[in-house]
Every structure is written in structure tokens, then in C-alpha cells.
Structure 1
């Protein structure tokens, strides 16, 4: 098999035999979720200061076509959105935070659809999150670029301005949310997640001392993915506008609908770009392409304390199959309690 054919096969299947096992994660309420090749783990620090964790096998996609390039990006994005909400809710329960009671309306819906009220609450949260994201990062910028279009007739310039508006709204949103105390702690756990993953990818023992020295900025982060989405959307929206022209460009509602229809393609292409940047050799061009996403992470990650690194390390160990991921002192205490 030629070198090109081998590279193409690896890209198509997403399997790289010589690569370090792929791991990823997500900051949650007072903890970190880590995802290994076969297992997903959530570790949180409870309000009494102790650690607790859960593990479960990773869901496999049902159909082979879901692993094809571009399509796998759309599938992963959808799963990330739904599972992300579930993970945050689960972590809050594990940490001992009071769970929100379902409303009467949600209880009625649960009876109608024969499911748990919690499932209705989760579905409601996902729908609201999607509506907010689409409204804030797409409908609003497209509406503003429509106003610009009344002054500037050049479609290329209008799309570029719309893209800049979209990025500015995105950065402003992150900046404002980072000022909330609870969100700041989540961003600190986000930093702990990245440091721990770097420690693992560099082949070092997973300890607080080893993880502490690494940066909080990681090229495969979801923040980088969202920034890539913003950039790719500028390119695809501009190309689409040049191709269709006519009535679509002259009607704001058709403009919004057609651009929203391109979102799955944008997500799929952005996913492939993110994965490629994560594997590519470190060159000046690659560093330049990574730079916008890494700089955006300065808003979404904060320097963690050692206790947060400890949580992230336990979570990654559990996700990699370690049967005793907690600090040794925890198991020693358990053994002493049994002897007594």
C-alpha cells in the first residue's frame, strides 16, 4: 500500500495505529469528565472535600456510515451536546448540589410521552441551549449583516463583516460568562483537564507535580472547535452566497434559513480540521492555524489549583481502566476501617 493510500485509509477510518490513545474531556460542576478509548469517567469533589467517581462504557455508533468523514463530525457534535447536558447534571448530583424539581408542565409532558420528568427537563435544556446558540451566534449576526447589506452591496464584504460580527458576539459571550464565580471554577477545572491530558500525551506519570507544569491551552479543545466553526462558516457562507445569489441574497428570511441549513456541513468540516490540527506536525503554518483557538482558550481556561488537578488525574486514570484511580491514602483509610 502506498504512503498516500495508507494516509487516506487512516483519515477515512479515523484510526492511527501508531498514535497515542485518544483521550478527551469536559469540565463539569466541581469536577472533570474524561473519555478514554473504551470508557468514560466523571470525577467530582463533594462538598465535604472527598472524591467520588463513576465510569461507564462509551456508546458506539450504530451505523458504519456515521464514522465517515464530515458525517462523524456532525454525529459527534450532536452527541457532545446531548451527553454534555447529562454529564453536567450528573456531576451536580454527585457533588451534592440540590437538584431542581421538575415543573408541573414538565411532569405533564413526562406522562404524555411515558418517560421520566428528568428526561423532559434534559430535553428542554438541550432545546433551549440550541435555540440560544442559533439565535445568538447565527440569527443575530445574519440580521446585523443584512443591515450592512443595505449600505454595502458587495456580497463578499458583507459576509466577511457578518463573520467578524459573529466572532465578536462569541468572544463577548465567553468574556461575560467567565466573570461569573461558578463559571470561573468550571474554567479552572477546564484548565486542569488540559494539563492532565498533556501529561498523559507526553508519557509522564499522572501526578499533580507532573501535570502542574503544562499549559492550560490544548489544540483539540472544544473552544478551538467553536472558533474553527466561526471561521469555516465565513468561508462556506461566502462561497454559498456567490453560488446561489439572486433571491436568497435579497431576502433576509431565506438568507437565515439557507445559512442555518449549512450548519451540519460546517460542523462536519470543522471537526475534520480540528482533528487534523491535533495530529499535524508542528510547523509555523500549523502554529498560525492553531493560534486563534488557543488564544480563545485564554478566556475559557484558568490556572487550576492542585486539588483540581487531583480530580482530573483520578478521572483520566478511571477512564483509562485503572481499577483504583483514587489517591492511595483513600484505599489505606478504607483498609484501616475494615480492620477496626
Structure 2
């Protein structure tokens, strides 16, 4: 276990996510990934966050949210790819000795903060061409498609099918049913996947990530003992963001469900084509709902940002509470070894940002206060 007794309270936000047997932590400029290997040691890497070339208008409030989430997904996918490669390197291969591979790897001992640039045979760093942009882009598109399907498509079709059978025809009753179905699908999915052993392990690392971030933000020492004492819930969690998105989506979709826009897009058809008209109206409505996801994400991002910024404020806490409750499903209590991995990842990211001295890079001095602005919300 770590024996360090003090840690600085950073002037910037840190956040992260769980990966396969590990944790990714990030600041505004650097991100680190630490994973527990099969032999008990910790593999870690630290890279610069790919610079965003987005124009200024995409960084405006209520617009920046959707683009920030896309950037976060890309970074998270890179981290997941690297963690998967680490796990794959631990699988014995007939053509080589696993013991030799482990001996050749430059890996930090358990409980010791690792150094940047760890090399594992056969494992590329997250930003190298071996984890191609095509693969990352494909994974992101698949993830977005699944997310939109769960939040928009499936609830819409279920509501359209069962609503009339239940005698629900009014716009607000239909919107309420749509929201209930959306939440039921989400909570059912989380409860189902949480029953699998490997997913539970990931939820434990998710809890470890939150505990370490909470220890850092409270000014407590970055030790296993102090982190274990922290709550595993955090208001900036991506789970909270998803819950806010679902609530905001239900309200926005209620407004647009019976919008006059549909009459403009689809003129009234003859009575003998009433079925076709309903189908076409449903398709147009679904396309509009999918298009609304970008402003919905923007609104939700700003609400999440306010909840994190004014943590402790009664209104902000009330806004965060549903997401915090949901985190009881998406996190589990971690053990000390999982906390060690999360601490190793956070310390490496802090070294990159200059918030901790880095013995392996003595010329990387801590940044002055004027150089450490809070550049925005980092999802924890």
C-alpha cells in the first residue's frame, strides 16, 4: 500500500473511467491508464490528450457539451483498447514463454507509483497508429448507435406499440410512458450486465476511480487508506450525465412529439393512406428526436457542470441526487489493490500536468497558478 501522506489540492479538474482491470485518469492535457496484470504488477502509460482542433463556436455553452462528450468517448476508447492489449499480453501464447514476456516488460512494482512510458512487449501506447483511428471511430459509432437506440429508438417504438393498447393517447400521457420505458430499459440493462463477474470487476474499478478522485478533491492524502474511506459516488460521473440526458430527453421529446413541424414536413395524405401517413409521421418524428440529441446532450452537460461546480449547494445536490443514486448500480466497493491501481493512474496523470514532481522527467516543473486554468468539466 502507498505510504505517502500528503497530496496537493489541484487547481484543475481530474476525472476518468474504469477500463479492463484498471482505471484511466485524465486532466486537461494528459491522460494515464493503469492496469493490474495477471502477475499482480501494475502496468501504466501516460500520454498527451489529443489536441482538439474544434472552432471556437463549438466551445460555446450548450454547444460544447455534445462535442466534449464525443472527445471523451474517443479518449475512453483509446484507453479501453490499451487495457485490452495489456490483458491480451497476459494470455499465454504457444509461440512464446509468458515468463519471458513478463521479464522483458518494464513494469512498476505493486504499491509504487509507476513512471511514464512503460513498455509491454506487444502492447502499443494509446496514441500510436496500432490503435488506429478507424478502429476507434468504428467503436465510437457503434457505441453512439447503441446509446441512441436505448435512449431514443427502443423507447419510442415500445411506447407507440403499447400506448394505444393501454388507452394512452394524450401527448403528456404518451410522453410520461415514453420516459418510464426509457428509464426501465436503462435500469434493466445496468442490473442485467451487473450480474456478470467481469462487469462487476469493472464496476469495482469504477468505484475505485471515484474514491481516489474524491480523496484528491477533498485535499486528503492520496493513500489507499484515505481513498477507501471516501464515498464511491461522484456528481460528475458519466452515469449522472446519462440520467440527466434521459430526463431532459423525456421533457424535450414531450414538446416535439406533437409538433406542427410534422405537418409541414408531411402534407395530409388521403384517408385510404392513413396507415402510410402514420408510418411516415413516425419515421419523421424519430429522425427529429435523434437530431435533438445534440442539444439535449448540450443542456445535460451544462447541468452536470453546474452540479459539479456548486457541489454542496442544496439545488446542485438535488440535481445530482438521481445520478448519485444510480451510481449505486454502476459502482461497487473496491478493494485495496484496485485503489492502488486508481492512485497509480491519477498520480501519473498529475505528473503529466505538472501537479506532482516527476523524477523520471526532472525538467517537468509544477505549473504556476496562472498556467493552470480550469479548462472545463472533466467527467469523473
> Equivalents in 2 of 1:168, 1:218: separation in Å?
23
Cα offset, 1:34, TM superposition: 0.3
> Equivalents in 2 of 1:55, 1:117: separation in Å?
15
Cα offset, 1:297, TM superposition: 0.4
Number of residue pairs matched by the alignment: 293
Q: C-alpha deviations, 1:307-337, integer Å up to 9, x for none?
A: 0101111111111114259xxxxxxxxxxxx
Q: C-alpha deviations, 1:153-209, integer Å up to 9, x for none?
A: 211221121011101101111111111111111110000000000000011121101
Aligned to 1:308, which of 300, 314, 338? 338
Q: Between Structure 1 and Structure 2, which shows a larger proportion of helix residues? A: 1
> Equivalents in 2 of 1:66, 1:47: separation in Å?
43
Residue aligned with 2:312, SS: coil
Relative distance call for 1:293 and 1:117 in structure 2 (3 A) is closer
Corresponding residue for residue 129 of structure 1: 143
Which aligned pairs between 1:21-100 and structure 2 lie closer than 5 A? 21-62=12-53, 63-95=55-87, 96-97=89-90
Relative distance call for 1:158 and 1:90 in structure 2 (3 A) is same
Aligned to 2:168, which of 152, 159, 177? 152
> Equivalents in 2 of 1:122, 1:161: separation in Å?
36
> Equivalents in 1 of 2:181, 2:262: separation in Å?
24
Question: Normalising to structure 1: TM-score of the pair?
Answer: 0.80
Judge conservation of contact 1:20–1:201 (CA < 8 Å) in 2: no
Question: Normalising to structure 2: TM-score of the pair?
Answer: 0.72
Corresponding residue for residue 233 of structure 2: 217
Relative distance call for 1:19 and 1:275 in structure 2 (3 A) is farther
> Equivalents in 1 of 2:63, 2:175: separation in Å?
25
Relative distance call for 1:149 and 1:19 in structure 2 (3 A) is farther
Residue aligned with 1:320, SS: helix
72-81 vs 191-200, which deviates more?
Answer: 72-81
Relative distance call for 1:60 and 1:121 in structure 2 (3 A) is closer
Residue aligned with 2:257, SS: helix
Corresponding residue for residue 278 of structure 1: 308
Judge conservation of contact 1:70–1:269 (CA < 8 Å) in 2: yes
Cα offset, 1:117, TM superposition: 8.7
Relative distance call for 1:65 and 1:19 in structure 2 (3 A) is farther
Residue aligned with 1:256, SS: helix
Judge conservation of contact 2:163–2:177 (CA < 8 Å) in 1: no
Cα offset, 1:145, TM superposition: 1.6
> Equivalents in 2 of 1:302, 1:187: separation in Å?
5
**Residue ranges of structure 2 left out of the alignment (5+ in a row):** 1-8, 93-128, 266-276, 361-380
Judge conservation of contact 2:33–2:345 (CA < 8 Å) in 1: yes
Judge conservation of contact 1:192–1:308 (CA < 8 Å) in 2: yes
CA RMSD of the aligned region, Å? 2.4
Which aligned pairs between 1:1-340 and structure 2 lie closer than 5 A? 20-62=11-53, 63-95=55-87, 96-97=89-90, 119-150=133-164, 151-241=167-257, 243-244=259-260, 247=263, 251-321=281-351, 322=356, 323=358
246-255 vs 223-232, which deviates more?
Answer: 246-255
> Equivalents in 1 of 2:90, 2:260: separation in Å?
51
> Equivalents in 2 of 1:54, 1:91: separation in Å?
10
41-50 vs 278-287, which deviates more?
Answer: 278-287
Cα offset, 1:67, TM superposition: 1.7
Cα offset, 1:59, TM superposition: 2.6
> Equivalents in 1 of 2:306, 2:333: separation in Å?
27
**Residue ranges of structure 1 left out of the alignment (5+ in a row):** 1-17, 100-114, 326-340
* Runs of 4+ displaced beyond 6 Å: none
> Equivalents in 2 of 1:280, 1:164: separation in Å?
29
